[in-house]
Chain A
């Protein structure tokens, strides 16, 4: 069992004591649960994870990340690695680490997501970062958070709490990485965001876990006229799963969830998203592209719920997939639940392979087969990748997608 060898976290604050009780009452999910139908959990359930806090990454350049501006916060095996991090004070931002907070400090946000893994996270928390952006501050610098697993069998529970006050904006980049030949590690992460009136948040997530597990439970609450954009780039992982719950609690909101997932050898990448529209006059867009290679398995389960009285909603949901090998598989489930009539909602899902005629067209113009396929992949993911405005970051993603 996952928790057998774990030490209860000393970081637990506020009402989190109850989360351990809740965790004990919550059964480990199984494939019989609709939400976990396609996720392979057997191995995860059996592994006896340990807490581990040693450092082994020598320099940040060994990670091959793109050029970063702004803050760099490196968490290795769930502890802050100060040697690799770059801190400086940014106007309007209040940043703190849970490990250096006082006993009686309450967390700035209490997550509304309660499932086995979010409870596991709050019961055995390794480290948490909380960020408050003051009202009216439009932060130009990025916040880069690098979360590395570098020790076998270690379970890392981290979280990021973020409050964007009125009229503020920020760009967060998260990296979830496995160092070297680490295997069977598990990064279990929670993101809790509140985006207040007129605020804007962009979240880029890059996930490359190789032979490790990673589950990210994201909870986003949006208030009036706010904007939230999430770009998720999932490259690999024995099991990489993103559970995004986006509650839109105000009018005139813009929500956007984009993603590219490229599972290959033995990988399983799961994307579960839920967008709850409680208020009228909002727009939401979802666009996920999957490229499945070798025996990689991809899952997309998107859900848009338009609640009663949430009129004039425009919700658009799209999932396109390419299967490159016969062993690869994709499970796509784009769902709509609509309880209001004056809405424009649509979804589309396609699964296919390279168009042979297009390949032929390119080859007839002197491109090698490899080059032609690369070009086709670029064209396929272009729509999503262009959402990122930073060219270094785009190049970095492209390189990693093609490399796999």
Chain B
């Protein structure tokens, strides 16, 4: 039996946000508000060393002097930073050695998310570092990775077990002085992932982390640090779902990538946080700072499929410091209903013969606003650098908006920079062609949209590509007429 578009639509109509359930786990929560005592509390709870506490306090001081930026093309109610709890962790009962010891409630949550750890372990060959709110509770495949010398663990574990690495690299790509939300994150970050690939090692499996905002009213401040040592390779997946809530939740993560000489990092994200309901109520605020730095002949590739969040504000960037380094950015951003996205990338060419490619596809539906904002900077020393950018926008209704704000700054005469952008709706002739061949209108639209985003979807690892395609369909549900 074939599953028709109509059936899908019916199913979707009757279905609210699929992952909008709340896990009932006793959790320990810090009182609302932000001050030095709270930071000290977070640090003590996590039994952190003094240098990290000082780092947090310094970041907090800087943060207090900063102003919340408002240049992005989004409108939202500013979060009340004193009304957020900055620490929440599932109560730790004892050290966990095997899955049997994990809270059955938590296991159920994972099953609903479709990432049952048992199955993951047996079948997919993906090591999952599952972050429930702020503390990692289960890590698999650790031993297998350990044999290769790969460190893949939660950030707090890394602070305990590998302080020298954390100390050396943390904040080198995104210092806490960088921007308002990076400073906030540096002061209060709860947990996150840490990954180190040793020299010459090609990571045999795709590493993945599922982030999930759980406790109501808890800001999630993840911190990811990924270091690929010389001549190594790693592919990292990040996928997100969050339960349905009516109040806006803040997510301000920091992701730092460091690709040393001749290393390659592939970082893929599928972001499907709660976008708010069809009246624009609720939804997650996603203000993320992501940046990578490239050494000699290294490569960083960002791929993202953004379908969630009420407000997205995200610019995964590459600093192409080493000669012959390569930066890539592939993105599909879908906004529906009252979602707002201001997303793009920054490619900063410093080294000679550096190359960057930007492919950004925006799809706006409903009453949403979707903006591409990108910077390509060719520095004075970036001889023979090359950039190609393409950003296309697709408009599905007459009430949504699609905007492009590219910044091109070129200070070297031997560089070649190209940028092109188009904005259009689905072509009547394309639609007519499909209808004429007996394809229903909805199917035709889904076909065209998937074809439109193909260039980016193709860059995703297999299991993500499937999920991403399904997400595209769900996100655009009922938006065309």
Interface residues of A (CB under 8 A from B): 34, 292, 308-309, 311, 321, 323-326, 328-353
List of 3 A-B pairs having minimum Cβ-Cβ separation, nearest first: A323-B413, A341-B395, A351-B417
Nearest-neighbor residue (CB-CB) of A334 within chain B: B406
Q: Does B357 contact A (CB under 8 A)?
A: no
> By the criterion CB–CB under 8 Å, are B410 and A337 in contact?
no
Interface of B, secondary structure class, is strand
Report the separation of the CA atoms of residues A347 and B404 in the bound assembly, to the nearest whole angstrom: 9
> By the criterion CB–CB under 8 Å, are A335 and B408 in contact?
no
**Are A349 and B417 CB-contacts (below 8 A) given A329-B411, A335-B404, A337-B403?**
yes
For this complex, 29 residue pairs linking A to B, each with C-beta atoms less than 8 Å apart, are A308-B398, A309-B398, A323-B413, A325-B413, A326-B412, A328-B411, A332-B406, A334-B419, A335-B403, A337-B403, A340-B395, A341-B396, A341-B397, A344-B423, A345-B422, A345-B423, A345-B424, A346-B420, A346-B421, A347-B419, A348-B421, A349-B408, A349-B417, A349-B420, A350-B419, A351-B408, A351-B410, A351-B417, A351-B418
Residues of B within 8 A of A339 (CB): 399-401
Report the separation of the CA atoms of residues A366 and B413 in the bound assembly, to the nearest whole angstrom: 26
Nearest-neighbor residue (CB-CB) of B378 within chain A: A351
> B355 to chain A: closest CB distance in Å?
15
User: Given B406, B409, B412, which contacts A335 in the complex, CB threshold below 8 Å?
Assistant: B406
> By the criterion CB–CB under 8 Å, are A336 and B421 in contact?
yes
Report the separation of the CA atoms of residues A192 and B151 in the bound assembly, to the nearest whole angstrom: 66
User: Given A292, A309, A329, A343, which contacts B424 in the complex, CB threshold below 8 Å?
Assistant: A343
Interface residues of B (CB under 8 A from A): 71, 73, 378, 380, 393, 395-425
> By the criterion CB–CB under 8 Å, are A330 and B410 in contact?
yes
Residues of A within 8 A of B419 (CB): 332, 334, 347-350
Interface of A, secondary structure class, is strand
Residues of B within 8 A of A345 (CB): 422-424
> By the criterion CB–CB under 8 Å, are A326 and B404 in contact?
no
Report the separation of the CA atoms of residues A322 and B70 in the bound assembly, to the nearest whole angstrom: 34
Nearest-neighbor residue (CB-CB) of A339 within chain B: B401
> By the criterion CB–CB under 8 Å, are B414 and A353 in contact?
yes
> By the criterion CB–CB under 8 Å, are B393 and A338 in contact?
yes
Report the separation of the CA atoms of residues A325 and B411 in the bound assembly, to the nearest whole angstrom: 9
**Are A349 and B406 CB-contacts (below 8 A) given A311-B398, A337-B401, A342-B425?**
yes
**Are A350 and B418 CB-contacts (below 8 A) given A321-B410, A323-B410, A323-B412?**
yes
> B388 to chain A: closest CB distance in Å?
10
**Are A329 and B410 CB-contacts (below 8 A) given A341-B396, A342-B398, A348-B419?**
yes
> B421 to chain A: closest CB distance in Å?
5
> By the criterion CB–CB under 8 Å, are B421 and A338 in contact?
no
Report the separation of the CA atoms of residues A279 and B350 in the bound assembly, to the nearest whole angstrom: 44
Report the separation of the CA atoms of residues A350 and B419 in the bound assembly, to the nearest whole angstrom: 6
Nearest-neighbor residue (CB-CB) of A325 within chain B: B413
Residues of B within 8 A of A351 (CB): 378, 408, 410, 415-418
> By the criterion CB–CB under 8 Å, are A324 and B413 in contact?
yes
Residues of B within 8 A of A336 (CB): 393, 402-404, 421, 423
Report the separation of the CA atoms of residues A292 and B410 in the bound assembly, to the nearest whole angstrom: 11
Report the separation of the CA atoms of residues A333 and B377 in the bound assembly, to the nearest whole angstrom: 12
Q: A331-B408, A338-B402 given. 16 additional CB < 8 A pairs?
A: A34-B71, A326-B380, A328-B411, A332-B410, A333-B405, A333-B406, A335-B404, A336-B393, A338-B403, A342-B425, A345-B422, A349-B406, A349-B418, A350-B416, A351-B408, A352-B417
> By the criterion CB–CB under 8 Å, are B408 and A341 in contact?
no
User: Given B395, B398, B402, B409, which contacts A329 in the complex, CB threshold below 8 Å?
Assistant: B409
User: Given B402, B414, B417, B424, which contacts A344 in the complex, CB threshold below 8 Å?
Assistant: B424
**Are A330 and B408 CB-contacts (below 8 A) given A308-B398, A338-B402, A345-B422?**
yes
Residues of A within 8 A of B404 (CB): 334-336, 347
Residues of B within 8 A of A344 (CB): 423-424
> By the criterion CB–CB under 8 Å, are B409 and A331 in contact?
yes
> A354 to chain B: closest CB distance in Å?
10
User: Given A292, A334, A346, which contacts B422 in the complex, CB threshold below 8 Å?
Assistant: A346
Report the separation of the CA atoms of residues A334 and B417 in the bound assembly, to the nearest whole angstrom: 13
Residues of B within 8 A of A324 (CB): 413
Residues of B within 8 A of A321 (CB): 410
Report the separation of the CA atoms of residues A349 and B419 in the bound assembly, to the nearest whole angstrom: 5
> A2 to chain B: closest CB distance in Å?
27
> B34 to chain A: closest CB distance in Å?
27
Report the separation of the CA atoms of residues A4 and B411 in the bound assembly, to the nearest whole angstrom: 36
Report the separation of the CA atoms of residues A335 and B410 in the bound assembly, to the nearest whole angstrom: 17
Residues of B within 8 A of A309 (CB): 398
> B341 to chain A: closest CB distance in Å?
14
Report the separation of the CA atoms of residues A324 and B414 in the bound assembly, to the nearest whole angstrom: 9
